[in-house]
Structure 1
Amino acid sequence: MKRLLKRAQMKFLGGSFDEALRDYGMVLNDNPSLSEAKVGVILSDLALESEDEAKALFDYYQVIKTSSDNADEIIDQLVESIYNSKSKIHEILLEPLKEQAEYEDGIRYSDFLKHIQSRNGFREAFEDIMFSTRVILTTKKEFMSFVTQLITNDFHSMALEYLDNTAPLFGNDQEVLALYTKLKNNENSL
């Protein structure tokens, strides 16, 4: 276990965050209460999105882990604070996009949902507008719903295009990444 923990730490310090996450995860699986493994998993996951912040927190953890009984909780709170800050920034940046959407040639997702009902299905409604009108998505929930409908209704290349074009907005969001898996599974079932 100590060798695997040391290897995970070396992978983290070397910038191999996927491998570090895997190794820390294996240690955590065998030792669920081991604080160092918990922090390693949290920081490796964060590093996939924000390397500098994760490395700074890793260094901070190395300093406080010997002097504080709850060092892992401190790191967990700091990581949560980082994610909350990013979420707020994301919301602030989306507000102008919402306003701009009202002036562009497009249909709001809420209006598109009404059109789906009038056409008795997503496929028909989407085929009505796909070449002439853009669907304006202003929230993550709308995005998730729309892309899920694209996948379900076999608009695979379009779903992939939406996912690829918006990946930087959502970073390492697990719900969004799960849509890639759903798309792949749906394509394989054809």
Structure 2
Amino acid sequence: MTQYAKLKNKAKRAFIKRQYTQALTLLSLAHTFNTNSKESLQLNVLCALADMAIEHEEEARALFEYYHIISKKNEQEASEMLLSMIDNFDKNIYALNLAITRLEDIEVDKNDGILYADFETLAKKIGFKEAFEDLMFSSKIIFTNKSDFLIFMQNLVEYGFKDVAIHYFENIGDMLFFDKDFANLYQKILHKES
């Protein structure tokens, strides 16, 4: 038995014993003794399965069993098919993780505040002053465009929340003062106070 065959068999036994990192190490060594491209494909399959098993053990073990069944007919075809399946699994896991991340971001945004459009709907039902007072200490209002924020600031002044409007201006900093609409509104608020 060649050194390559010994390492490959040890790697398979390590995989069966759920020693996936050891299997990867043995398969890596087996690659150094391999000169056959057909056997290289088999090593790639075993490496991919061992790597997959570290995070997704059940799925990798099921594919390992499936591979042994289908590789008896045509090992080359079975290897290519299994590598494709593992690649698709990786892509699906990536897509799933991306979707979960997006959902978590939406959930964080939802928990961090209320969209201005939702605030506006609430203000139409119960009035601006009541809606703002209800949310003032419990939620942030999330603005997605300048015009909504400008309207909101004007409503703050109109409904008697001038101090809150000034506080917004002071906390936002210089970036609004470079905008003429906000600078004009700020000047109006200051003139009304004096």
Corresponding letter in the other structure for 2:32: N
Corresponding letter in the other structure for 2:81: I
Partner of 1:93: 100
How far the C-alpha of 1:103 sits from its partner, in A, is 4.9
Q: Which has the larger radius of gyration?
A: 2
Query: CA-to-partner distance for each residue in 1:138-164, whole Å, 9 max, x for gaps?
Result: xxxxxxxxxxxxxxxxxxxxxxxxxxx
CA RMSD of aligned residues (A): 1.9
Corresponding letter in the other structure for 2:87: E
Partner of 1:54: 60
Matching residue within 55, 72, 80 for 1:73: 80
1:31 is aligned to 2:34:
yes
1:8 is aligned to 2:11:
yes
For normalisation by structure 1, the TM-score amounts to: 0.51
Sequence identity percentage: 24
- Matched-pair contact (CA < 8 Å) for 1:28–1:38: no
CA distance in structure 2 between the aligned counterparts of 1:96 and 1:64, rounded to whole angstroms = 39
Query: After the TM superposition, which segments of 4 or more aligned residues of structure 1 sit over 2 Å from their partners?
Result: 100-106
- Matched-pair contact (CA < 8 Å) for 1:24–1:37: yes
Corresponding letter in the other structure for 1:98: D
Partner of 1:44: 50
Structure possessing the higher relative contact order (Cα contacts under 8 Å, 6 or more residues apart): 1
How far the C-alpha of 1:96 sits from its partner, in A, is 2.2
Partner of 1:163: none
| Structure 1 residues 1-190: aligned runs within 5 Å | 1-31=4-34, 33=37, 34=39, 35-68=41-74, 69-103=76-110
For normalisation by structure 2, the TM-score amounts to: 0.50
5+ residue gaps, structure 2, are: 114-194
SS at match of 1:48: helix
CA distance in structure 2 between the aligned counterparts of 1:23 and 1:84, rounded to whole angstroms = 26
SS at match of 2:55: coil
Count of residues paired in the alignment = 106
- Matched-pair contact (CA < 8 Å) for 1:17–1:44: yes
How far the C-alpha of 1:60 sits from its partner, in A, is 1.0
5+ residue gaps, structure 1, are: 107-190
SS at match of 2:22: helix
SS at match of 2:11: helix
SS at match of 2:14: helix
CA distance in structure 2 between the aligned counterparts of 1:36 and 1:92, rounded to whole angstroms = 33
Corresponding letter in the other structure for 1:8: A
CA distance in structure 2 between the aligned counterparts of 1:100 and 1:50, rounded to whole angstroms = 27
How far the C-alpha of 1:50 sits from its partner, in A, is 0.6
How far the C-alpha of 1:16 sits from its partner, in A, is 0.2
